[in-house]
Amino acid sequence: MYERALFALCLLTLVLFQSAASCELRPVLVQVPKRLPAGYVISESKEELSLKGCAAKPVAFTSSDPDFTVNTDGNIITVHGLEITTKRFSVLVQDENGMDWRVDIILSCKDEASQKSSSVARKRTKRRWRPLPFSLVENDTPPFPKELEMIGSDSSVNYTVYYEISGQGVTKDPVGLFILNKNNGMLSVTRSVDREQYPQFNFIARVFDIRGKETDAYLPITVNVEDKNDNTPEFIGSRFFTVEERCRAGTVIGQVNATDKDQPKTPHTFIKFTLQNATDMFSIDPFTGVITAKTNTLDREAQDKVCIEIEIRDMGGATNGLFSRGTVVITLTDVNDNPPTFKEKLYKAKVQENQENVLVTRIPVEDKDLVNTPNWKALFEVTKGNESGNFRMETDPKTNEGLLYVIKGLDFEKTPLVKLEITARNEVPLVGPDTKWLSVPLELSVGDEDEGPEFNPGILYLKVKENVANGTVIGTYKALDPEKKNSDGMKYYKMTDPGNWITVVENTGELKTANTIDRESPLVHKDMYNITIRAVDESKKTGKGMVIIQIEDVNDNIPVIPGKDLIMCSKGDMLSSVLVEAVDMDKPPYSTPFIFELGADHDGKWKLKDTTGSSVVLEQAVTMPNGLYSVPLLVKDLQGFGKEQIMDVRVCTCERVDNGLGICGARSASSSLGSLGILALVLSGLLLLLLSLLLIFICSTKRDKLYISDDTGTGGMLLKSNTEAPGEEVKDGALMMIPGAEVVDGSLQSGLMESKNMTSASGRYGQSFFQGGGVYNTTTQGFGTEKYYSSGRYDNNMHGNATIQKLSNTSALDTWKTNGRYLDRKLTYFGDEAEGRYADDLLKTYGHEGMGSPAGSVGCCSIVGEQESLDFLNTLGPKFRPLADVCYTTNRTGN
């Protein structure tokens, strides 16, 4: 039944196309009165406008002349009254298929006799020729020339005339196409014409009498070239398209475009598109050329490029229409409609236990999608059997194989055979309802090895109170042989123990305290202390375990005030305060909140307020001046343990406050220097300047010999010595001035007495000062550019620039270093053997200070005095020997 209906439809279509092929519209010639009133119906053209014989039904009419309109039934009606001689216009007929058909309408006047008589009477001022524009068929067949139309002028009634034509097709290109019989006005064509080259010709005709005078106005002549279906449709534009595989049915792929050089909007250019193959995959709109997918099963993997042949035929696809064929290439782009597939149904591999980061096996896959695209690249995952994280999967970028790695060692004793499931995916999701990712099982055999001991558990947690007694057993940590499943013959050793708090019993694995466990130690982190233990079996294989000791707190610390030097900023008459904070290294309930109390011995000038968990505010109870105060404060923890602590509180005028802490300003004592201090500094500078000038004067003045009298006028207190023999240790003359009264025995005064009455006498080399009220004098001598001080037992003289010194409470044991420097310079000065040295006669060599002296010879350090006073040498102490060495060495070196 279906085949019959299809055959009938095809037969009907064929008949329609044949009818369309036989359809040929010719101009409609209608004679009408000269004067046409408005609404005049020209009914002669109704049949022609109905497209009779064209197998098409008109649906709309359009007049090209605004003086006429066309009803829906095809009648032509005048719009308003008009007078015509001839009239030519066209009616555009649109059929139900959207095609446009043109029908030429030619109106001519019926009253030709009256028209002719009027012409004879020459009542017309404007002469009109005939005929109106006419047509010729393109590519007409011979013979030629062929007559087209006769033209004539109204002046031919009164004159013997002849005609001439000129213009396009006559005297212009194409020259000679049209010829005219000059006597009767018959126009002929000499050869065939191509409408696509010359769709219309426009030239003029003139009329002349026998004298050659133009008897009428020239006549423009228009010759239209009627189209024939002589051009085959042609493809234009690209014929290459792309579409994704598995796209929806009805997806637009592209549009094929074609053109025809024949007259537009005629059946000659009415092109129909027809697929010649691949009709099960694609379809094409017969009149627009739009190609769409006919199915949703387009498969790139089966055929990535489809070449379809398309026929384009004019005349709406009629059998007598001209046609051409071309190839359209449709490329199918890839989508991820194929998952990676495994080549085997089961994979097997083997690995030794305890191996880590090793490649176990390669798993090849196949993927039909486009190579080296995200649709093809595989991603592998262990979807079953990797709960402990022992495995890792990677992809070989070149081969797209799956690489299975063991990243954590396997245990043969626990799992000799590991069953895994490997799933392969792509980088992008799958397309299609029937596609899904595929998986494959993999059996991994674990090889056995002789392993070392294993602690169980790997990390042992123990709780211990701090300060537990040494030797206390806090737990036992044993290891097992994985093969034997026992601990026979196992030895245990400690690997790490930062505080050396724990000992391990070698044979049993018992853990005992070796030192005091202190929770507050810096070795403890978050109340936990770690040690590591090593177990060694009989085959010398080892295993390692960790013990984490969680230390429980006890109340072994009392609150302490870390900063006991506090600054309290004075605020004038207002009472000042300072925050006091305490810390306790214990944890609650052995620490905060603290209890703060003033000590029992506090003086009542302080009070406490605003107590918090770990701090209290110390405030003045009464105003007090700036100064340093000691405040006793008792701090106890929550359990009542604590002690009294003394804080030093400095009350001062604060210069600034940094982070809540006061910074004292400069003390007032620092300004006590005042005007007297400044005056003293100025005087010291002046004295120093005078001393420098004096030294320059001495160095630039010729020195005379210095005479030192044996008798200094001290009443016999200095003794003469004429012993010429050198001492035991001194080879040359030397002189040492022993410091003042402090070097004598205790019977003498321990310090120099401050003189109340002092006189001075001018000398050549300085001034001598005599002290009254005491038995000791001081002498200062200047040699070169330095000043030296020497102390005598009974009499001291000053030589050099005058200086008054107050030597009160001077230590008896003055620095020997100062004396050494003095002796060095003095010995050098007096020991110079150069001629003319003015003090040579005063340098003496001494032999010895008496027989039987327990200290031996003092050489240059001897002192002239009474015999009974030499006993003090026995009490000089061990420093005397270095002094003698200094004198001796100085003499030998000559410095």
Whether residue 124 has pLDDT greater than 60: no
Q: Tell whether the model's pLDDT for residue 218 goes beyond 70.
A: yes
Which residues, including other chains, have CB under 8 Å from residue 7's CB and lie 6 or more apart? none
Distance of CA 347 to the CA centre of its chain: 45
Residue 182 backbone phi and psi in degrees, to 5 = -65, -20
Omega of the bond leading into 593 within 30 degrees of 0 (cis): yes
Per-residue pLDDT for 394 more than 60? yes
The answer on 545 and 584 residing in a single domain is: no
Rounded to an integer, what distance in angstroms lies between the CA atom of residue 166 and that of residue 401? 87
563 pLDDT higher than 60 = yes
Q: Confidence class of residue 217 from pLDDT cuts 50, 70 and 90?
A: confident
Enclosing H/E stretch for 444:
strand 438-447
Q: Is the same domain home to 141 and 208?
A: yes
Distance CA(592)–CA(637), nearest Å, equals 6
Place of tokens 């002028």: 153
Please choose, from the candidates 728, 887, 862, 859, the residue with its C-alpha nearest in 3D space to the C-alpha of residue 895: 887
pLDDT band per the 50, 70, 90 thresholds, residue 101: confident
Which pairs count as long-range contacts for 392-400, CB under 8 Å and 24+ apart, including other chains?
393/422, 396/362, 399/362, 399/364, 400/340, 400/364, 400/365, 400/367, 400/376
- Which of 530, 552, 574 is the C-terminal boundary of a domain? 552
Please choose, from the candidates 894, 888, 828, the residue with its C-alpha nearest in 3D space to the C-alpha of residue 858: 888
Beta bridge partner(s), residue 446: 351
Contacts 24+ apart (CB under 8 A), 141-149: 141/192, 142/192, 144/189, 144/190, 144/191, 144/192, 145/179, 145/188, 145/189, 145/190, 146/188, 146/189, 147/186, 147/187, 147/188, 148/178, 148/187, 148/188, 148/189, 148/223, 149/186, 149/187
Please state whether the peptide bond connecting residue 457 to the residue before it is cis, i.e. omega within 30 degrees of 0.
yes
SS3 503: strand
Instruction: Give a yes or no: residue 508 inside a domain.
Output: yes
pLDDT of 790 strictly over 90? no
Residue 326 shares a structural domain with residue 196: no
Q: Does residue 846 share a domain with residue 721?
A: yes
Q: What is the distance between the alpha carbons of residues 89 and 110, in angstroms, rounded to a whole number?
A: 18
- Tell me the mean pLDDT in the region 122-146: 71
Tell me how far apart the alpha carbons of residues 502 and 464 are, in angstroms, rounded to a whole number: 12
CB within 8 Å of 8: residues ≥ 6 apart:
none
Q: Please give the Cα distance from 425 to 395 (Å, whole number).
A: 11
Q: Is the pLDDT of residue 870 over 80?
A: no
Of the given ranges (327-336, 645-654, 718-727), which has the lowest mean pLDDT? 718-727
CB atoms within 10 A of CB 51: 20
**Confidence band, pLDDT 50/70/90 cuts, at residue 67:** confident
Q: Each residue of 528-548: b (16+ CB within 10 Å) or e?
A: ebebebbbbbeeeeebebbbe
Q: Is 90 exceeded by the pLDDT of residue 112? A: no
What does the pLDDT read at residue 291? 97
Q: Is the pLDDT of residue 247 over 60?
A: yes
Reported confidence tier of residue 488, pLDDT bands at 50, 70, 90: confident
**pLDDT of residue 498 exceeding 90:** yes
Mean per-residue pLDDT, 818-845: 58
Contact 643, 555 (CB under 8 A): no
From 301-315, 684-698, 775-789, the region with the lowest mean pLDDT: 775-789
Asked whether the beta carbons of 95 and 56 are under 8 A apart, the reply is yes
**What mean pLDDT is reported for the chain?**
77
Strands 358-363 and 282-284: unpaired
Q: In what order do the strands lie in the sheet containing 161-167?
A: 134-137, 219-226, 200-209, 161-167
Cis peptide before 364 (omega within 30 of 0): no
Rounded to an integer, the average pLDDT of 644-668 is 81
Q: Are residues 30 and 170 in the same domain?
A: no
Neighbours of 329 (CB within 10 A): 13
Count CA atoms within 13 Å of residue 314 on its CB side: 22
Q: Are residues 884 and 741 in the same domain?
A: yes
Model confidence at 363: pLDDT above 90: yes
Same domain, 441 and 465: no
Least confident of 613-627, 643-657, 660-674: 660-674
Structure tokens at 600: 């029992």
Q: What is the pLDDT of residue 817?
A: 62
Specify the range with the lowest mean pLDDT, choosing from 110-114, 382-386, 527-531, 648-652.
110-114
Q: Which of the residue ranges 98-112, 311-325, 651-665 would you say has the lowest mean pLDDT?
A: 98-112
Our count of domains for the chain comes to 7
Asked if the structure places residue 689 within a domain, the reply is no
Least confident range from 214-218, 500-504, 851-855: namely 851-855
pLDDT digits (tens, 9 = 90+) for 263-295: 998 999 999 999 999 999 999 999 999 999 999
489: pLDDT strictly greater than 70: yes
pLDDT for 676: 58
At 798, is the pLDDT very low, low, confident or very high (cuts 50, 70, 90)?
very low
- Residue 187 confidence class, pLDDT cut points 50, 70, 90: very high
CA distance 873 to 854: 9
Euclidean distance between CA atoms 829 and 703, whole angstroms = 12
Encode pLDDT of 308-323 as tens digits.
999 999 999 999 999 9
- 4 domain-assigned: no
Asked whether residue 754 carries a pLDDT value surpassing 60, the answer given is: no
Does 797 or 494 have the greater pLDDT score?
494
**pLDDT for 784 beyond 50:** no
pLDDT above 50 (res 674): no
Residue 762 lies in a domain: yes
- Structure tokens, 648: 């030093």
Residue 828 scores a pLDDT above 90:
no
Q: How far apart are CA 176 and CA 188, in angstroms?
A: 10
Distance, CA of 340 to CA of 426 (rounded, Å): 7
Within this chain, do residues 381 and 412 fall inside the same structural domain, yes or no?
A: yes
Mean pLDDT of 784-789: 39
- Poorest-pLDDT segment among 499-513, 576-590, 732-746: 732-746
| Domain termination site, one of 552, 576, 600 | 552
Residues 594 and 652 in one domain: yes
Whole-angstrom Cα distance, residue 593 to residue 330? Answer: 86
CA distance 100 to 737: 149
The reply to whether 749 falls in a domain is yes
Q: How many CB atoms within 10 Å of residue 862?
A: 24
Residue 55 pLDDT > 90: no
Confidence of residue 505 (pLDDT cuts 50, 70, 90): very high
Asked if residue 468 has pLDDT above 70, the reply is yes
Whole-number percent of the chain with pLDDT over 90: 43
Domain extent, residue 241, equals 234-333
Would you state the pLDDT for residue 114?
Answer: 42
This prediction has a pTM of: 0.43
Which candidate, 523, 519, 477, places its Cα nearest to that of 498?
Answer: 523
Give the per-residue pLDDT at 872: 58
State the average pLDDT over residues 231-249.
95
Looking at residue 84, its pLDDT comes to 83
Domain membership flag for residue 695: no
Q: What percent of the chain has pLDDT over 70?
A: 70
> 246's torsion region: left (phi>0), alpha (psi -120 to 50) or beta?
left
- Axis crossing angle, helix 816-830 with helix 880-893, rounded to the nearest 10: 30
Lowest mean pLDDT among 59-63, 247-251, 360-364, 772-776: 772-776
Q: Looking at the structure, do residues 155 and 85 belong to the same domain, yes or no?
A: no
Nearest to 797 by CA among 774, 822, 826, 776: 776
Residues 493, 411 share a domain = no
Query: Does residue 627 surpass a pLDDT of 80?
Result: yes
Gap between the terminal Cα atoms of the chain = 148
User: Would you say 77 and 70 are in contact if contact means Cβ atoms under 8 Å apart?
Assistant: yes
Output the pLDDT for position 830. Answer: 58
631: pLDDT confidence band, cut at 50, 70 and 90?
A: very high
Closest CA to 271 of 324, 229, 314: 314
The yes-or-no verdict on residue 521 having pLDDT over 80 is yes
Tokens standing for 278?
Answer: 């691949």
CATH of the domain at 132: 2.60.40.60
Distance of CA 496 to the CA centre of its chain: 42
Record the tokens describing residue 496, joined without a space: 């790490």
Has residue 120 been placed in a domain?
A: no
Residue 889, SS3 per DSSP:
helix
Q: Is residue 319 part of a domain?
A: yes
**Are 252 and 369 contained in the same domain?**
no
Helix (H, G, I), strand (E, B) or coil at 295: coil
User: Among 333, 356, 374, where does a domain finish?
Assistant: 333
Confidence bin at 770 (pLDDT 50/70/90): very low
